[in-house]
Every structure is written in C-alpha cells, then in structure tokens.
Amino acid sequence: MDDGDKETEQRRGTATDEDIVGTSRKRGLLLVLTGDGKGKSTSAFGMVARALGHGMQVGVAQFIKKRSDTGEALFFHRQPGVYWHLLGEGFTWEGEDPGRHEVAARHGWKVGRKMLKDPSIDLVVFDELTYPIQYGWLDLEAVLFDIANRPGAQHVVVTGRGAPKALCEAADTVTEMKEIKHAFRSGIEAQPGIDF
C-alpha cells in the first residue's frame, strides 16, 4: 500500500467530519495564528507534532531568529520528516544596517517558496512571517501569490502578530490570541519549556 492509499484508507474513517463539511476531498488549508497573546508559535508546533504522527512531511521556516536553542528547534530538527530552517536575523537591530534584515528575509522567502513548490511537503509552517512583511522586507502580494499557488493538498500555517488583512482574508482558519495576562509583565523571565 503506498502513502496515497494509506491516506485514502485513513480518510474513510472520518465519515463524521465528512458529513459535517459535505466533502471528502483532500484540501490544503491556510491557517493564520495572530494576536498579541501567547500561543501562536506553540500552536503551530502542535500541528507539526500532529502531522508527524500521521507520517506527514513537514517544513518549518522561522523568520525571526530570537535564539537558536529553542526547545522546538532542538527537538523537531532531529525528527525524521522535518525540514527545519532558522532564517532571518534577531529582533534587535538598533544601530545595525537594516538592509541586512531585508537580505535575510529575501533569502528566507526563497527557502519558503521552494517548500511551497514541493508537493512532497504536506505541512509548511512560516513562523513569525508577519514581521518581515510589516517591515516591508517581503512583498505581501508576492507571498500571497506563492501561497495561493502551492500544491493543492499542502497545508500552510503562518504565525505572528498583526497579520495583514489580505492574509487573513486568504486564510481558511484565523485565530487571534488575546493577552489576558503574561508572566513577563510581572517581571518573570522567559522559561525553558514554556517560552522557548
């Protein structure tokens, strides 16, 4: 049984879902996780774990390199079926040449676009993609075009605060994380396993 048959067989078991949506067609979804509350990236990594559990291939591109020792990078990059790309420069660039960030972002999108052209990758995560768009390092129209022209069954998840309206309109699922409280505001520093 090849992978396609296996998937079809698994899908037969999801009659309830199919009844609800009225279709059994396999369709790649675009999900956007935005807002200023905690939980955007970790939700995306939860979907990475789910997808890997189903034997799917996953590509992750992190567009803001806050640190390279995050639990997710350390864990997932060792897992079979994952392509993990740490792209972009750090958050702080005071006194730095802003062109450096643009170059990094453009290189990042080259990597991203390559994954969007690869039908063997079932799920692509663009973590913190909203920032290089907001800062004008990446062209929103070009990003939307590449996402729209991805393989039909490929899922894409975009995370980051301030998701542009056009990206949310193009998405199938949009969730806004709302901050009620964050430990950081009480002066508690970032904790391994929780924050990175």
70 makes contact with Mg ion (CB under 5 A): no
> What is the closest distance, in whole angstroms, from the C-beta atom of residue 43 to ligand ATP in the complex?
7
Report the C-alpha gap between 102 and 104 in whole angstroms.
5
Compute how many other C-beta atoms are within 10 angstroms of the C-beta atom of residue 180: 6
The site that binds Mg ion (CB under 5 A) totals a number of residues, namely 2
Q: Starting from the edge strand earliest in sequence, which strands make up the sheet with 173-177, in order?
A: 82-86, 58-62, 123-127, 155-159, 30-35, 173-177
Each residue 55-94 as x (binds ligand ATP by CB under 6 A) or -, in order, gives ----------------------------------------
Residue 148: alpha-carbon gap to chain centroid: 15
Helix (H, G, I), strand (E, B) or coil at 117: coil
Report the C-alpha gap between 98 and 101 in whole angstroms.
5
The DSSP code for 107 is H
Q: In 3D, which of 152, 128, 147 has the Cα closest to residue 26?
A: 152
Per CB under 6 A, the list member of 118, 161, 170, 174 interacting with ligand ATP is 161
> What is the closest distance, in whole angstroms, from the C-beta atom of residue 161 to Mg ion in the complex?
8
130 makes contact with Mg ion (CB under 5 A): no
From Mg ion, ligand ATP, none, interface partner of 19 (C-beta below 5 to 8 A by class): none
Q: Which two tokens stand for residue 192?
A: 């391994």
Separation in Å, CA 98 to CA 76, 92, 94, 162: 30, 10, 9, 20
Per CB under 6 A, the list member of 24, 42, 134, 175 interacting with ligand ATP is 42
41 makes contact with Mg ion (CB under 5 A): yes
Per CB under 6 A, the list member of 29, 106, 184, 188 interacting with ligand ATP is 184
Binding window for ligand ATP (CB under 6 A); candidates: 84-92, 94-102, 118-126, 177-185: 177-185
Binding window for ligand ATP (CB under 6 A); candidates: 16-24, 37-45, 86-94, 131-139: 37-45
Q: In 3D, which of 49, 25, 29 has the Cα closest to residue 174?
A: 29
Closest to Mg ion by CB, 24 vs 43, is 43
Partners of 140 in the beta sheet? none
- Which residues of the shown chain bind ligand ATP in the complex (CB under 6 A)? 36-42, 128, 159, 161, 177, 179, 182, 184, 190, 195-196
- Which residues of the shown chain bind Mg ion in the complex (CB under 5 A)? 40-41
